[in-house]
Amino acid sequence: MKRKVLTPEEAGAKMRAKFAKLAEETIRRRPPIPDQKLASVEAYQFFINIYTEHLSGNSVIDPDSYDAFLDPACSNEELGRSARLALADSRMIDPTSEESDRLNEARRKNFERAEAAMMKRAGVKTFKAFYRGYTVATLREIHGQIEIKGHKPVTRRGYDGIPGHEARVVPADASDADLGAAIRAELAISAKYT
């Protein structure tokens, strides 16, 4: 029996169909993601930026979600209250939805514009001046508790995990002051890597 030789277009279509089916099966077998809420805290020498993230397979930022700037000398209570508002605004988004695609595209397009606006707010002109002392912590509310984890800054608004570092956990109903103190403690850990 003679095998048909596929054109490049036919071979490409066959491979795309095969991978689409494989992706669909993988999604179907994957256990459901537990309901959780995400936020990030980025501390610069000029201000603290707290913003909501949504879970969509990976985290995505909605430019219309909670995004606040606080004075670096704000109280732990103010910091905790703002973090709680950011977490409250977070939601789950279907990763296969148009909204997920829209938010991922918006994140790519808006990164440099948002960064320029923050540099203007800080009154600096160079990345070096802006990112000096940059620290970051992520927040995840899940199963009645909030996990706060400091990270190692590695690029402009980018970070890696710290090997062996576990998240600090506080009850979801902890006071704003206690939540703020836990965030500051994790930002201090992040600062060791700046």
Within a domain: 26: no
pTM for the whole structure: 0.80
Within a domain: 20: no
CATH at 186 = 3.40.1590.10
Q: Grade residue 105 by pLDDT with cuts at 50, 70 and 90.
A: confident
Domain count, the chain: 1
Within a domain: 3: no
E-strand stretches of the chain: 37-43, 48-56, 58-60, 67-70, 135-142, 145-155, 158-160, 168-171
Within a domain: 8: no
User: Percent helix, strand and coil across the chain, each rounded to 5?
Assistant: 40, 25, 30
Within a domain: 59: yes
The pLDDT, as a whole number, for residue 27 is: 67
Within a domain: 21: no
Per-residue model confidence as pLDDT tens digits over 36-50: 999 999 999 999 999
Give me the count of residues in the chain: 194
Within a domain: 27: no
Per-residue model confidence as pLDDT tens digits over 51-97: 998 887 667 777 788 999 999 999 999 999 999 999 999 988 887 78
Residue 83 CA to residue 143 CA, distance in Å, equals: 17
The pLDDT, as a whole number, for residue 111 is: 82
Q: Over 80: is that where the pLDDT of 31 sits?
A: no
Q: Grade residue 118 by pLDDT with cuts at 50, 70 and 90.
A: very high
Residue 113 CA to residue 188 CA, distance in Å, equals: 28
Within a domain: 5: no
Per-residue model confidence as pLDDT tens digits over 142-192: 999 999 999 999 887 789 999 999 999 999 999 999 999 999 999 999 999
Q: Grade residue 23 by pLDDT with cuts at 50, 70 and 90.
A: confident
CA 189 to chain CA centroid, nearest Å: 18
Q: Which domain holds residue 60?
A: 37-191
Q: Tokens 């256990």 map to which residue?
A: 31
